[in-house]
Chain A
Amino acid sequence: MREIDAKTITDAVESLCIDAACDLGQDVEQLISDAAKKESLPRAQYILNQLIDNIKLAREQQMPICQDTGMAVVFVEMGQDVHITGGYIIDAINEGVRSGYTKGYLRKSVVSNPIERINTGDNTPAIIHVEMVPGSSLSITVVPKGFGSENMSALKMLKPADGIDGIKAFVLDTVKAAGGNPCPPVILGIGIGGTMEKAAYIAKKALLRDAGQPNPNESVASLEQELLHAINALGIGPQGLGGTVTALAVHIETFATHIAGLPVAINMQCHASRHKTAVL
Chain B
Amino acid sequence: MEIKSIVSPLSKAAIDDLNAGDMVKMTGIIYTARDAAHKRMIQLINQNLPLPFDIAGQTIYYAGPCPPKPGQVIGSAGPTTSSRVDTYTPPLLARGLNAMIGKGPRSRAVIDAMVKYKAVYLAATGGAGALIANCIKKADIVAFEDLGPEAIYRLVVEDLPLIVAIDCHGNSLYS
Given contact pairs A64-B129, A65-B129, A105 touches B66 in the complex (Cβ within 8 A):
yes
Restricting to A106-160, which residues have a CB under 8 Å from any CB of B? 106-109, 119, 146, 148, 151
Query: Which of B105, B129, B148 is close to A66, meaning CB atoms less than 8 Å apart?
Result: B129
Q: Once the chains bind, are A106 and B130 in contact (CB under 8 Å)?
A: no
Restricting to B68-93, which residues have a CB under 8 Å from any CB of A? 68-69, 72, 75-78, 80-81, 83
Output the least CB separation between A187 and chain B (Å). 12
Q: Once the chains bind, are B64 and A107 in contact (CB under 8 Å)?
A: yes
Given contact pairs A66-B78, A67-B76, A179-B104, A47 touches B148 in the complex (Cβ within 8 A):
no
* A108 neighbours in B (Cβ, 8 Å): 148-149
Q: Once the chains bind, are A51 and B125 in contact (CB under 8 Å)?
A: yes
Docked CA distance A109–B125 (Å):
20
Q: Once the chains bind, are B81 and A64 in contact (CB under 8 Å)?
A: no
Docked CA distance A45–B23 (Å):
11
Q: Let me know if A10 is at the binding interface, CB within 8 A.
A: no
Number of A-B contacts (CB under 8 A): 134
Q: Which of A86-94, A165-173, A239-247, A260-268 contacts B (4 or more CB under 8 A)?
A: A239-247
Q: Let me know if A221 is at the binding interface, CB within 8 A.
A: no
Restricting to B81-131, which residues have a CB under 8 Å from any CB of A? 81, 83, 103-105, 123, 125-131
Q: Once the chains bind, are B129 and A239 in contact (CB under 8 Å)?
A: no
* A109 neighbours in B (Cβ, 8 Å): 149
Query: Which of B1, B66, B131 is close to A69, meaning CB atoms less than 8 Å apart?
Result: B66
* A272 neighbours in B (Cβ, 8 Å): 127
Q: Let me know if B163 is at the binding interface, CB within 8 A.
A: yes
Q: Once the chains bind, are A63 and B65 in contact (CB under 8 Å)?
A: no
Q: Let me know if A54 is at the binding interface, CB within 8 A.
A: yes
Query: Which of B103, B104, B123 lies at the interface centre, i.e. has the most chain A CB atoms within 10 A of its CB?
Result: B104
Q: Considering the complex, give the chain A residue whose CB is closest to the CB of B124.
A: A239
Docked CA distance A38–B77 (Å):
28
Output the least CB separation between B146 and chain A (Å). 10
Q: Once the chains bind, are B104 and A240 in contact (CB under 8 Å)?
A: yes
Output the least CB separation between A230 and chain B (Å). 20
Q: Once the chains bind, are B76 and A58 in contact (CB under 8 Å)?
A: yes
Q: How large is the interface on B (under 10, 10 to 19, 20 to 34, 35 or more residues)?
A: 35 or more
Query: Which of B21, B75, B174 is close to A107, meaning CB atoms less than 8 Å apart?
Result: B75
Output the least CB separation between A29 and chain B (Å). 13
Q: Is chain B's interface secondary structure helix, strand, loop, or mixed overall?
A: loop
Output the least CB separation between B36 and chain A (Å). 9
Docked CA distance A50–B159 (Å):
13
* B68 neighbours in A (Cβ, 8 Å): 105
Q: Once the chains bind, are A43 and B131 in contact (CB under 8 Å)?
A: no
Given contact pairs A57-B131, A181-B81, A67 touches B64 in the complex (Cβ within 8 A):
yes
Q: Once the chains bind, are B63 and A67 in contact (CB under 8 Å)?
A: yes
Q: Let me know if A61 is at the binding interface, CB within 8 A.
A: yes
Output the least CB separation between B64 and chain A (Å). 6
Query: Which of A61, A69, A183 lies at the interface centre, i.e. has the most chain B CB atoms within 10 A of its CB?
Result: A183
* B161 neighbours in A (Cβ, 8 Å): 46, 50
Given contact pairs A108-B148, A270-B127, A65 touches B76 in the complex (Cβ within 8 A):
yes
Q: Once the chains bind, are B131 and A107 in contact (CB under 8 Å)?
A: no
Q: Considering the complex, give the chain B residue whose CB is closest to the CB of A238.
A: B125
Docked CA distance A121–B152 (Å):
18
Q: Let me know if A77 is at the binding interface, CB within 8 A.
A: no
Q: Once the chains bind, are B173 and A242 in contact (CB under 8 Å)?
A: yes
Q: Once the chains bind, are A64 and B80 in contact (CB under 8 Å)?
A: no
Query: Which of B67, B123, B130 is close to A54, meaning CB atoms less than 8 Å apart?
Result: B130
Binary CB contact string for chain B from 145 to 175 against chain A (1 if under 8 A, 0 otherwise): 0001100000000000101010000000110
Given contacts A57-B131, A148-B81, A181-B104, 9 further A-B contacts (CB under 8 A): A51-B127, A54-B125, A58-B130, A64-B66, A105-B66, A148-B103, A180-B104, A180-B174, A181-B83
19 A-B contact pairs sorted by A residue (CB < 8 Å): A42-B23, A46-B1, A46-B163, A50-B161, A51-B125, A63-B69, A64-B76, A65-B129, A66-B78, A67-B66, A67-B77, A68-B80, A105-B66, A107-B67, A119-B148, A146-B127, A148-B103, A179-B174, A240-B105
10 closest residue pairs by CB, A with B: A183-B126, A58-B130, A64-B76, A54-B131, A67-B76, A54-B128, A63-B130, A67-B129, A57-B130, A107-B66
